[in-house]
Amino acid sequence: MARSHLWLKKLTFAIFAVSLLATPSLAQDTPAADFTVRYSPLYILKGYTIWMNGGSGTAALNASRWLGIAADFGVYDGHIPQTLTGETYMAGPRFSYRRLDRVVPFAQALFGGSHFSESSGGITGGGSQFTFALGGGGDVGFGGSRTFALRLEADYVGIRSSGTTTPAMRLAVGVAYRIGNK
């Protein structure tokens, strides 16, 4: 009986030691931060579709393996026939799933503002509007690199102006640069 009790103590200690050593190895897959530059067309979907070419950038800090905070800035240019330019600036939480080998899917909810140059398609220009984005995407690792990844993303963007919300869709493809380890 005493032998089985000693064996149980050793087993408990071994499980505790392995789990303690395994925790840092899991955390090494989580970057401390990442920066992304993307081609991001914006499709404004009100009445008729306004297609705007654009680019966006994101900086994200990871608080844990699954939770981070992202800040996003985008610039867009379109023709409806007149020229329409706009900017979006948003920030919010990002939830990542880091259990797959080369793919890291994420979901995010961003809140902030926007500014558009013209009044068209339900968007009032000349001032700032409340803007939010709900969506997500994923990073696909380049070969064996843990520093760079291909980022694919799709977001619903709601532009709140004059008491109504103008729906828009943003599709993006770019490169993510990961810094440090958590």
CATH of the domain at 125: 2.40.160.20
- At residue 31, the pLDDT reads 92
Q: For 100-109, 112-121, 156-165, which range has the lowest pLDDT when averaged over its residues?
A: 112-121
The mean predicted confidence, pLDDT, of the chain is: 82
**Confidence band of 29 (pLDDT split at 50, 70, 90):** confident
Alpha carbons 106 and 30: distance in angstroms, whole number: 13
- At residue 25, the pLDDT reads 40
Assess whether 87 and 12 both reside in one domain: no
Assess whether 7 and 60 both reside in one domain: no
Assess whether 21 and 45 both reside in one domain: no
Alpha carbons 143 and 36: distance in angstroms, whole number: 18
Assess whether 83 and 94 both reside in one domain: yes
Assess whether 162 and 113 both reside in one domain: yes
Assess whether 2 and 69 both reside in one domain: no
- What's the predicted TM-score (pTM) here? 0.77
**Confidence band of 26 (pLDDT split at 50, 70, 90):** very low
> Which position has the higher pLDDT, 129 or 7?
129
Assess whether 105 and 25 both reside in one domain: no
Assess whether 84 and 164 both reside in one domain: yes
**Confidence band of 171 (pLDDT split at 50, 70, 90):** very high
Q: For 2-16, 43-57, 74-88, which range has the lowest pLDDT when averaged over its residues?
A: 2-16
- Please give the tally of structural domains in the chain: 2
- At residue 19, the pLDDT reads 46
Q: For residues 172 and 137, is the Cβ–Cβ distance under 8 A?
A: yes
Assess whether 52 and 123 both reside in one domain: yes
Alpha carbons 69 and 143: distance in angstroms, whole number: 27
Assess whether 59 and 126 both reside in one domain: yes
Assess whether 93 and 68 both reside in one domain: yes
For residue 44, what are the domain limits?
31-179
* Beta strands, E only, 27-127: 33-39, 42-46, 48-62, 67-79, 83-96, 103-116
Residues in CB range of 80: below 8 A, 6 or more apart = 50, 118, 120, 121
CA geometry: angle 79, 85, 90, nearest 5 deg: 135
Assess whether 6 and 35 both reside in one domain: no
Residues 36-73: tens digit of each pLDDT = 999 999 998 877 778 899 999 999 999 999 999 999 99
